[in-house]
Structure 1
Amino acid sequence: MDNELAVDVTGVTKRYGDLVAVDDVSLRVGQGEVYGVLGPNGAGKTTLLRMLFGLLHPNAGSIRIFGRTWTEAGVSVLDGVGGFIESPRFYPYLTGRQNLEGLALLDGAAPSGRIAEVLGVVDLVGREDDKVGGYSYGMRQRLGVAASLLRDPRLLVLDEPANGLDPGGIRDMRALVKRLAGSGLTVLLSSHHMDEVEEICDNVTIMSHGSVAFHGTIADLRAMAPDPGHLLSTDDDGQALRLAHERHPGVHVRRGQEGAGLTVTGQPAALSAYVADLVRAGIGLRQLTPTRTPLEALFFMLTDTETDTQGDAA
């Protein structure tokens, strides 16, 4: 394998009138790595991937895929690239196999046996001759990955592949991406779920309002993660709050939303001392649970968001 980057995005900007959807974004994806583009709704993730596929043209900056640009190579820049933007679409009245056969013909026909091979990769063997209209959402997502693999790509680009899936579907999709990455395929995926990126990716770019909020490895991200905070419920929240203010400056305790329980933040040692003092004071603990993982807390801090919702407006 040579040292040429799979994806080299430099200073890319995309404007829609006064709206800057992507603002001077750069990222570099090495061959063989799993790279995550993470961000809340409207962060610019999908817009960036659309420019990668040539569906949109940047107002500034450059995009190279395996060393080629759209200006230099035209559509052949996508040789060796597969993937989908947003949810893949299929003819519901055709079977999974028939949909793949049609896509293969449009792309110049797949080698003999390739359709059966990719159906096996995405665990759709046994359902390939069922009409897609009867597929679950997760099965259609996996069929989208199968379609992306028809051309035996070197780079697989997936836009929110687990979005909208139930917990079982999310687990299956993550396992599939990990298997594909283990085969040496380069994977670039977008997500608005920190746990998905943490589990799958080697490196990550976090976007917020069209700009880059973080570049680096998952290890770098973990090193930056703050204390996530805990939800605390006692049989006397008022007394627990007073005890914190009077004797534990190392923890910050406040009322929860709509007065439900308390939210506690602080370093682990300070939190442990506070909880021990609650017990000594005879205050009964009913609940002490993390509000979110440390990486989730960092994600919300970097992107200035407090809730995580579905879809991506940009």
Structure 2
Amino acid sequence: MSDVPAVDAVGLTKTYGTLTAVDRLSVRVGQGKVYGVLGPNGAGKTTFLRMLFGLIRPDSGTLRVLGRTWQRDGIRALDGVAGFIESPKFYPGLTGRRNLRLLAGLDGATSPSRIDEVLETVDLRARAGDKAGGYSFGMRQRLGVAAALLRDPRLLVLDEPANGLDPAGIRDMRALVKRLAAGGLTVLLSSHDMGEVEEICDDVTIMRAGAVVYHGSIAALREKAPEQAHEIRTTDDGRTAMLATAAGLTVTPLDDGLAVRGAQPDIDALVAEVVAEGIALRALARRETPLEALFFMLTEPGAPAPEPATTGAAR
């Protein structure tokens, strides 16, 4: 596998009037990785992907895709690259197979066996003769992946691939991305769901308001995450809060109950102490995962401003 990064962006900036959609973004994606670009809606994720595909041009900065640039190589910058921005679109009155044949014809000759192969990869071969208009949203997403795979890409770019899917569709999409990555394909995906990124990505860049607030591995991100929080409701929340504080746990009052943060053994000990004190436990539930809590801390309004310039550059 080549040492050339699949994506090498340095200082990308894109503005629309007074709005800075992407602010000095630097990202390097190694080949063979599953890489996530994570952030809330409006963070600049899709703008970055549009620049990668050449749909818009950055105001400043450099962007290399598999070693190529739009300025030097033009449309050849997309050799070995495939994917979709937002949701893929198809002719609803044509079958899934016929849609792929049309796309293959536009992109150059593709053998019928290749079409069968990509349909098999995304688990749609049995439904290939059905009209695309009758496909579920998840099936259309997988057909979009099949269309991208027709090019036999080295880099697959997916914009919010699980967005709008039901739990079964999310499960199928995650399994598909894992299978593709296991075959050596580099996958760059955007998402606003930390659980999705944690499940399938090796590395992640987290964005807020167009700028990077974190770049690195999922493993390193876990080390920065706060301890697990639980939501507790009892017949005496005031006394429970005192017991939790005395045990060294962090307590936040809620409208109905308490949010208690700490190591799981300490939470377990608190519950046992509450019961021993004769306080009835009405509810106990985990809140967001530690990584989800960290994501909200980094991206919600009022969070500390991102550091300028090279924050997020893996160089």
Distance 1:52 1:153 in 2: 15
Structure 1, unaligned runs of 5 or more = 307-314
SS of equivalent residue, structure 1 residue 35: strand
In structure 1, the partner of 2:162 is 162
In structure 2, the partner of 1:294 is 290
Q: Deviations over 1:122-158 (max 9, x none)?
A: 0001111111110000000000000000111011000
Kindly indicate whether residue 120 of structure 2 is the aligned counterpart of residue 120 of structure 1: yes
In structure 1, the partner of 2:84 is 84
Q: 277, 280, 297: which one pairs with 2:276?
A: 280
Distance 1:301 1:254 in 2: 15
Counterpart AA for 1:159: D
Alpha-carbon offset, residue 274 of structure 1: 3.1
Distance 1:195 1:214 in 2: 16
Contact 2:227 2:262 in 1 (8 A): yes
Distance 1:267 1:183 in 2: 38
SS of equivalent residue, structure 2 residue 126: coil
SS of equivalent residue, structure 1 residue 238: helix
Contact 2:191 2:197 in 1 (8 A): yes
Q: How does 1:92-103 map to 2 (within 5 A)?
A: 92-103=92-103
Q: Deviations over 1:159-179 (max 9, x none)?
A: 000000000000000000000
In structure 1, the partner of 2:211 is 211
Q: 1:171 to 1:89 in 2, by over 3 A?
A: same
Alpha-carbon offset, residue 270 of structure 1: 4.4
In structure 1, the partner of 2:251 is 253
In structure 2, the partner of 1:64 is 64
Contact 2:36 2:197 in 1 (8 A): yes
Q: How does 1:84-233 map to 2 (within 5 A)?
A: 84-233=84-233
Contact 2:91 2:99 in 1 (8 A): yes
Alpha-carbon offset, residue 287 of structure 1: 2.2
Q: 1:112 to 1:129 in 2, by over 3 A?
A: closer
Contact 2:7 2:65 in 1 (8 A): yes
Distance 1:268 1:103 in 2: 52
Alpha-carbon offset, residue 260 of structure 1: 1.7
Contact 2:228 2:263 in 1 (8 A): no
Alpha-carbon offset, residue 199 of structure 1: 1.1
Distance 2:273 2:219 in 1: 34
Alpha-carbon offset, residue 238 of structure 1: 3.4
Distance 1:80 1:92 in 2: 28
Segment drifting more, 297-306 vs 108-117: 297-306
Alpha-carbon offset, residue 305 of structure 1: 5.9
Q: Deviations over 1:75-105 (max 9, x none)?
A: 1100111100000001101110111111111
Contact 2:93 2:131 in 1 (8 A): yes
Counterpart AA for 1:266: G
Percent identity between matched residues is 64
Counterpart AA for 1:58: P
| Cα RMSD, aligned residues only | 1.5
Counterpart AA for 1:274: L
Alpha-carbon offset, residue 254 of structure 1: 3.1
Alpha-carbon offset, residue 243 of structure 1: 4.0
Segment drifting more, 41-50 vs 229-238: 229-238
Alpha-carbon offset, residue 255 of structure 1: 2.6
Q: Deviations over 1:198-241 (max 9, x none)?
A: 11111110111110010101110111110131100112223323
SS of equivalent residue, structure 2 residue 127: coil
Kindly indicate whether residue 253 of structure 2 is the aligned counterpart of residue 264 of structure 1: no
Contact 1:124 1:139 in 2 (8 A): yes
Contact 1:252 1:265 in 2 (8 A): yes
SS of equivalent residue, structure 1 residue 113: helix
In structure 2, the partner of 1:46 is 46
Contact 1:40 1:305 in 2 (8 A): no
Contact 2:244 2:260 in 1 (8 A): no
Alpha-carbon offset, residue 276 of structure 1: 3.2
Distance 2:241 2:299 in 1: 29
Alpha-carbon offset, residue 266 of structure 1: 3.0
